[in-house]
Amino acid sequence: MKKKILALSLTAAMAMGLAGCGGDTAPAGNSGTPAANNTGSGGETSQVANNQKPLVWFNRQPSNSSTGELDMNALTFNKDTYYVGFDANQGAELQGTMIKEYIEANIDTIDRNGDGIIGYVLAIGDIGHNDSIARTRGVRAALDTAVEVDGVADSAPVGTNTDGTATAVKDGSIEVNGKTYIIRELASQEMKNSAGATWDAATAGNAIGTWSASFGDQIDVIASNNDGMGMSMFNAWSKANEVPTFGYDANADAVAAIAEGYGGTISQHADVQAYLTLRVLRNALDGVDVDTGIGTADDAGNVLSSDVYKYVEEERSYYALNVAVTAENYKDFTDSTKVYEPVSNQLDAGEHPTKKVWLNIYNAADNFLTATYQPVLQNCEALLNLEVEYIGGDGQTEGNITNRLGNPGEYDAFAINMVKTDNAASYTGILNQ
């Protein structure tokens, strides 16, 4: 805190010192380092220190990967820092409920080997990622297989549990039409490849091969923390064996697969998230209230309604709200890369001059981020008069990405998607130099 006050007063002093330079009142300078000479793509030169530039974290919320505790230092890095993601708990509950309702509606045919046990397997994305943890908990809570530890459902993988003796889960039960069935998590595993990449679709495809070879007829349902892994299992095994598979993200291929037996998915409103990611930067660059074009209509008429997002001030975080996508409504979700209609109006180029944004995707092989999120960002950026440079990481090391943030002075704002939620300082350290 003390450091921040010092930085702010230095900023004020330097801004005053620069008052003669063409009336540029943008905050400039930071403790010890001269302000970078920043040529925005609009042609005008501004003197803004990198650590005073707008910064948005997205998709991976700065937080402790073991406890989930938010990293408030990273979230309040400067006055224009925010996080954009989605409501992980609301979405997780929705995913669990969607699976449970499917089981209830298909109870006559779901128990493939007729042993009275509804068996499911679960693909876990990243045991240290809060979205992944929430989804594992949501599925277990809805299917009554959760075991509470310190008041929250255990989210640890069980490995194999065909005999029902694992301690991280319990056998659940469900009553339908007066009959009680057991629900068992037969197996679950973190889908991490040997190089360390998590949420790994290929690993999930291999896992379903192994699981189905040893206890295939016991598997009645497949749950996955995301569609990338879900579709890999669907294509490798469950489509041919007609086992309903449920994912998350509403990627276009998964939505299309609902017509071929994919059980369902959750839209985390990537269109709203992508817009918010760029919008908070735009607002900071324009020096206007952060709610502009979000909860309050902007001059072009862009505005979001409260049923698609929420803002939690003390977390400096915007969260998009989720929607279940099933056989009933999937036709409304086939184009996952479209700009969300209520925020699709072009900003005036005179009032909102072009600015440059550096943005990274932590893993260029992540299905959701590259097939859904990035395309919507690309469709939004021109509307907001932003020029975004996209950097794709290898999903394993922060260095692979930070190495390509060699010239932060060339950009007006930053949008960051970390490999590990604990690693915010790898980025803020560079901006502080």
SS3 call for 413? strand
Q: Which does 131 bind (CB under 5 to 8 A by kind): ligand BGC, Ca ion, none?
A: ligand BGC
**Strands 117-124, 219-224: parallel, antiparallel or unpaired by DSSP?**
parallel
Residue 336 beta carbon to ligand BGC: minimum distance, rounded to whole angstroms:
12
Q: Which does 117 bind (CB under 5 to 8 A by kind): Ca ion, ligand BGC, none?
A: Ca ion
* Cβ neighbours of 226 (radius 10 Å): 29
In our burial notation (b when 16+ CB lie closer than 10 A, e otherwise), range 41-68 reads bbeeebbbbbbbbbbbbbbbbbbebeeb
Of residues 55 and 110, the one with the C-beta less far from Ca ion? 110
Of residues 117 and 425, the one with the C-beta less far from Ca ion? 117
**Which of the stretches 58-66, 105-113, 303-311, 386-394 binds Ca ion when contact is defined by CB under 5 A?**
105-113
Classify residue 148 by burial, with Cβ atoms within 10 Å: 0-12, 13-18, 19+.
exposed
Of residues 181 and 246, the one with the C-beta less far from ligand BGC? 246
Residue selected from 8, 10, 107, 117 as contacting Ca ion according to rule CB under 5 A: 117
DSSP bridge pairs for 152: 149
Residue 412 beta carbon to ligand BGC: minimum distance, rounded to whole angstroms:
25
Distances in Å between the Cα of 219 and the Cα atoms of 20, 119, 225, 241 are 72, 5, 17, 10
Q: Which does 113 bind (CB under 5 to 8 A by kind): ligand BGC, Ca ion, none?
A: Ca ion
Angle between helices 88-105 and 130-142 (to 10 degrees): 30
Q: Which does 422 bind (CB under 5 to 8 A by kind): ligand BGC, Ca ion, none?
A: none
Distances in Å between the Cα of 35 and the Cα atoms of 14, 89, 281 are 9, 41, 20
Residue 114 beta carbon to Ca ion: minimum distance, rounded to whole angstroms:
7
* Cβ neighbours of 382 (radius 10 Å): 14
Rounded CA-CA distance 325/305 in Å is 20
Residue 91 beta carbon to ligand BGC: minimum distance, rounded to whole angstroms:
9
**Which element (helix H / strand E) includes 84?**
strand 81-86
Of residues 60 and 140, the one with the C-beta less far from ligand BGC? 60
Residue 126 beta carbon to ligand BGC: minimum distance, rounded to whole angstroms:
7
Distances in Å between the Cα of 110 and the Cα atoms of 106, 122, 336 are 6, 17, 30
- Residues in contact with ligand BGC by the rule CB under 6 A: 59-60, 125, 131, 199, 226, 228, 248-249, 366, 368-369
End-to-end CA distance of the chain: 19
Of residues 119 and 125, the one with the C-beta less far from ligand BGC? 125
Is 25 an interacting residue with respect to Ca ion (CB under 5 A)? Answer: no
Is 93 an interacting residue with respect to Ca ion (CB under 5 A)? Answer: no
Residue 123 beta carbon to ligand BGC: minimum distance, rounded to whole angstroms:
11
Angle at 342 between CA 76 and CA 392, to 5 degrees: 50
Of residues 8 and 117, the one with the C-beta less far from Ca ion? 117
The amino acid present at 227, given as its one-letter code, is D
Is 115 an interacting residue with respect to Ca ion (CB under 5 A)? Answer: yes
Rounded CA-CA distance 243/238 in Å is 5
The amino acid present at 126, given as its one-letter code, is D
Q: Which does 249 bind (CB under 5 to 8 A by kind): Ca ion, ligand BGC, none?
A: ligand BGC
Q: Which does 373 bind (CB under 5 to 8 A by kind): ligand BGC, Ca ion, none?
A: none
Residue 156 beta carbon to Ca ion: minimum distance, rounded to whole angstroms:
24
Of residues 85 and 293, the one with the C-beta less far from ligand BGC? 85
**Strands annotated E in 283-351:** 309-312, 317-320, 323-325
Is 299 an interacting residue with respect to Ca ion (CB under 5 A)? Answer: no
**Which element (helix H / strand E) includes 81?**
strand 81-86
**Tokens matching residue 133:** 């943890």
Rounded CA-CA distance 187/263 in Å is 19
Residue 205 beta carbon to Ca ion: minimum distance, rounded to whole angstroms:
23
Of residues 49 and 123, the one with the C-beta less far from ligand BGC? 123
Is 185 an interacting residue with respect to Ca ion (CB under 5 A)? Answer: no
Of residues 162 and 326, the one with the C-beta less far from ligand BGC? 326
Residue 139 beta carbon to Ca ion: minimum distance, rounded to whole angstroms:
17
Residue 249 beta carbon to Ca ion: minimum distance, rounded to whole angstroms:
28
Residues of this chain that bind Ca ion (CB under 5 A): 111, 113, 115, 117
